[in-house]
Amino acid sequence: MANSQKILLVEGETDKSFFEEICKKLSLNTIVRVAPPRDLGGTHNTKGGVLNHLKILLPQLEDGQLTNIAVVVDADYIEHGSGGQKTVEQVSKVLESFGFTLKNSTSNSEGLLFKHSDGLRDFGLWVMPNNNREGMLEDWIIESIKNDEKALFQQATTAVQQLSSPKFKPHLQAKAEVATWLAWQKTPGHGLYSVMKEGLLDENSVPYTQLGNWLKSIF
């Protein structure tokens, strides 16, 4: 069991299993607990659930129950009332009431850090895919795919695009493309965590390196 004093708060079970695998790759798995809100006593495994549960977790930094907290959530889409900028603003609003302010950064693509007025450890925020644009975890995965997997992924993308009557909503296309690509791997039917376990991502790619560096800087 990872040290429960260091928490990486994520939206749901899919994100939990994915980030547990990344933490293993970065040798953080023994010190970081990856958890969605419900694992920590929250009510909903959603972005809203993360925002609500932060109000419970942040005081635990002040009394020493926790030493480090970071959050990963999807940007989602402006047309649905969200997006990267709004998500950052929502998290910032919660953090400001607990003495955290966003550090100046030349590039949000390297992750966001919030400094505390009384010297507590920096709070980390990553808004998928790159802290700037709309999207979700699957978009980050697409940007990090290994070169020798790109041809197969393109075939999956083409197959999804050629569907005559897709049942999923247009903004979920990236999810459909990644799910189709994973369904064509050696062990079909596994979740997003399998991109890590099966070595399908380029660990030297810019998105992967930036996310990894951000996680190590927090924990």
CA atoms of 182 and 192, how far apart (whole Å): 8
One digit per residue, pLDDT tens: the chain, 219 residues?
A: 466 799 999 999 999 999 999 999 999 999 999 999 999 999 999 999 999 999 999 999 989 999 999 999 999 999 988 999 999 999 999 999 999 999 876 578 899 999 999 989 999 999 999 999 999 999 999 999 999 999 999 999 999 999 999 999 999 999 999 999 999 999 998 999 999 999 999 999 999 999 999 999 999
Say what percent of the chain tops pLDDT 70.
98
- Let me know if domain 6-135+202-218 sits in CATH 3.40.980: yes
The residue among 29, 22, 30 whose CA lies nearest residue 140 is: 22
**CA-atom Rg of the chain in angstroms:** 17
pTM (2 d.p.): 0.94
Give the start-to-end residue ranges of the domains of the chain.
Answer: 6-135+202-218, 137-197
For residue 68, give every residue at least 6 positions away whose Cβ sits within 8 Å of its Cβ, in sequence order, or none: 5, 6, 7, 32, 121, 218, 219
